Structure 1
Amino acid sequence: MTTEPQALPSGRFSGPTDFAQGVRDALACAAREGWPALILSDATFEDWPLRERAVVESLQAWSKAGRRMTLLATRYDEVVRQQPRFVAWRQTWGHLIECRVCRDRAPGDCPSAIWSRSWFMQRLDPQRSVGIWGHNPERSVLLRQLLDEKIRDSTPGFPATTLGL
């Protein structure tokens, strides 16, 4: 007997447990369905489950030629300190990933979201991990426009490797 993968949820979510599971499920679905483009955005990514083996395995399965990921944050120091598996994966697949730093470094000015053509998740209140997720085309377009605006007003950051002398 085979089991069908769970469809990604729609509607509202509330709390850090729902949020973290949404990140896990979205990245697993991206790998399974071969989403060509992903945008991950958060002020610091400190409460994202990017350090987990299963999440990095999903990212590894997603990583193929032609895929693109954009990361947007106000800073990446928490990623480097708290997400070592993700940092190692990012070093390997840096050619697929564009990392950007929000020009305005206030944490509230950087959206906390995952966007793809297939599904989105947006924390409206990052402190309480309350937000919306789903397939709603209108909300997806609005989120993409917000992310595009923030990306246009950002600078490159978080290099895959650090060159020394």
Structure 2
Amino acid sequence: MDEQHVTPIASRGEFQQAIRNAIAAAAREGARELWFADSTFADWPLSEPGVIENLGRWAASHRKLTLIAETFDEVARRHARWSEWRRPWSHIVECRSNDELERGQMPCLLLAGNLLAVRLVDPVHHRGTVSRDVPDLVRSREQIDAVLQRSSEAFPVTMLGL
């Protein structure tokens, strides 16, 4: 790994700032696809106004966002702004669930196309990296693909009921 292209993450605050920065970079640099993977997305700053604004800028150019989780309960509970933002963008946002992974095996990863990856290797203590290292981006994409292969659609935009 090229050390100048990798920055460590050592706290929850640094992780959240890395997510903010990655989404802003994706909007600014034109990443075609974004992948977000996490067990619950509880610690992600998805509903912050600045994140929503950058996601809107990013989404405006025929993009695709895929979220993969064990459960979307925390997204529905904690990220109301993101859930509202998603409604008009539902044609480019896909939410998937993989319940075949054992507890704690879901990666905590944001991959912004070929630009960068934010990865927590220790989600409990918020230890990880922000990487622009090409081999690391390839490994991140392979990890996302492996989780997606056994996933199914989840978290519909609208809930149908009686």
| Equivalent position of 1:12 in the other structure | 8
Q: Which has the higher contact order (CA 8 A, sep 6+)?
A: 2
Shift of 1:164: 2.8
| Equivalent position of 2:121 in the other structure | 124
Q: 1:85 aligns with which of 81, 84, 96?
A: 81
Shift of 1:58: 0.8
> Once superposed, which parts of structure 1, at least 4 consecutive aligned residues long, lie more than 4 Å away?
none
Shift of 1:163: 2.4
Shift of 1:65: 4.3
| Equivalent position of 1:53 in the other structure | 49
**Where in structure 2 are the equivalents of 1:105-116 lying within 5 Å?**
106-116=102-112
Q: Secondary structure at the match of 1:95?
A: coil
> Contact 1:41–1:72 (CA<8 Å) still a contact in 2?
yes
**Structure 2: distance between partners of 1:34 and 1:141:** 18
Between the two proteins, what is the percent identity of the paired residues? 34
Q: 2:34 aligns with which of 34, 38, 54?
A: 38
The reply on whether 1:147 has 2:155 as its aligned counterpart is no
**Structure 2: distance between partners of 1:45 and 1:104:** 18
Unpaired segments of 5 or more residues in structure 2?
Answer: none
**Structure 2: distance between partners of 1:57 and 1:64:** 11
CA deviations over 1:91-116 (Å, ceiling 9, x no partner): 12111011110122544111000112
